[in-house]
Amino acid sequence: MSDEVYSQLMKELSEGKYVFTGELEPEKAGDVEEPIKAARELVGLVTACNVTDNPQSFAYVSSLAAAYKIQLETGMECIYQLRCADRNRSALLSDILGAGVLGLKNILALTGDHVALGDTPDAKPVYDLDSTTLIALIRRVVDEGKDLAGNEIHNPPKLHVGAAAAPGAAVLKAEIAKVKRKIKVGAEFIQTQVVYKTEVLDRFFKELGKVDVPILVGIFPAKTYAQADFFDKYVAGVDVPPDYLQHMKETKAIKDKEKRKEEVDRVNIEFFTEFLEHLKDTPAAGCHIMAVGYPRIIPALKKVME
């Protein structure tokens, strides 16, 4: 792997700067107005934004097209998410090359939730590659100018590749071994699944030991009680602390909309100040803030880390 840096994200990470990233979700629509609007609100608050690729296997605007448009129109650097669920290795290669052509610089390589769990459950699941072999493919394209079959690629793209990790994985030792495998094949940064509990994070870092790629810890300040409750109930490996959940629940009783917003912000700032203070004592290189459509909370979070 070369030490060359192609993106702002990798530049800041390699300089040891504490990095914040955000998240943008293309929708089931014929345009990307919403994520562009959201990106504009995040400019200046985060270094780069992930653009999700059919999260939970709901089919939306292609993350490649969306990331290109967002980057072009808002200047926000994008981390293009790419899943193995819907594309075979040829289609993945085409999209990787396409990403280079469109000026994208970062890819987050994901396996992807099973298509049967999404909104088009009769679709044929692909999984020709998995997150590990997708990372290997991207590295091979960028570093060697070759695809998996060994075919030469003329003028290969300059891209960085990241991987996901699940600190709250039920079988942590298997997850740790897999994260190490992804680092071994060339992942250059890690973004974790959402974590709410500091003990979950501590156990993850302890088990992982020292690794030489930057890790951005996923956090999700919930804008509503329903969001927090969803994570707790339906997202594998994410446990929301009962106290936080309770405080969020109590905000539902506030009739006045403005007052409720204030109280939600207060609950989040209180909870995440403590969480981020704790984060300072971990090897985390930054924070991936997944709260979509909740940019007003970010300045307060960044202040904690200053």
Partner 1 sequence: MIAQEQKPIEEILGYLEGKQKVVVMGCGGCATFYHTGDKKAVRDMGERLRKEGKEVTEIVLPLGISACEIDMSSKFLEKKRKAVENADALLMMSCGDGAQVIADYIEKRIGATVAVVPANDALGLVGGGPKKFKETCQMCGQCELGKTVGICPLTACGKGLMNGPCGGVREDGKCEVDPEKDCAWVKIYERMEKLGELDKFTEMRDPHAWSRAKRPRLFEIEEPVKPVSAILGSLPSYLTLFTGPKYEEEE
Q: Whole-number minimum distance, CB 164 to partner 1, in Å?
A: 6
Applying CB under 8 A, the residues found at the interface with partner 1 are 85, 89, 111, 113-114, 116-117, 125, 127-133, 136, 148, 164, 166, 169-171, 173-175, 177-178, 180-181, 184-185, 193, 236-237
Residue with tokens 């129109």: 73
**Whose Cβ is closer to partner 1: residue 175's or residue 263's?**
175
C-beta of 159: minimal distance to partner 1 in Å? 19
Write down the least CB distance from residue 125 to partner 1, Å: 7
Q: Are 85 and 114 in contact (CB under 8 A)?
A: yes
Quickly list H helices, 195-256.
198-208, 225-234, 242-251
Our CB check for partner 1 shows the closer of 125 and 283 to be 125
Tell me whether residue 93 or residue 301 sits nearer to partner 1 (CB atom).
93
The minimum distance between CB 135 and partner 1, in angstroms, equals 9
By C-beta, is 148 or 300 nearer to partner 1? 148
CA 264 – CA 271 distance, rounded (Å): 11
Whether residue 268 contacts residue 256, with contact meaning beta carbons closer than 8 Å, is answered with no
Instruction: Please tell me the distance from the alpha carbon of residue 147 to that of residue 93, in angstroms, as a whole number.
Output: 7
* Nearer CB in complex with partner 1: 24/169: 169
Q: What is the DSSP string of 256-301?
A: SHHHHHHHHHHHHHHHHHHHHHHHTTS---EEEE--TT-GGGHHHH
Between CA 268 and CA 153 the distance in angstroms is 48
And the tokens for 93? 């290669």
DSSP state of 21: E
The minimum distance between CB 16 and partner 1, in angstroms, equals 27
Minimum gap (Å) between residue 131 Cβ and partner 1: 7
Smallest separation, CB 290 to partner 1 (Å): 14
Spatial separation of the C-alpha atoms in residues 7 and 106, rounded to whole Å: 7
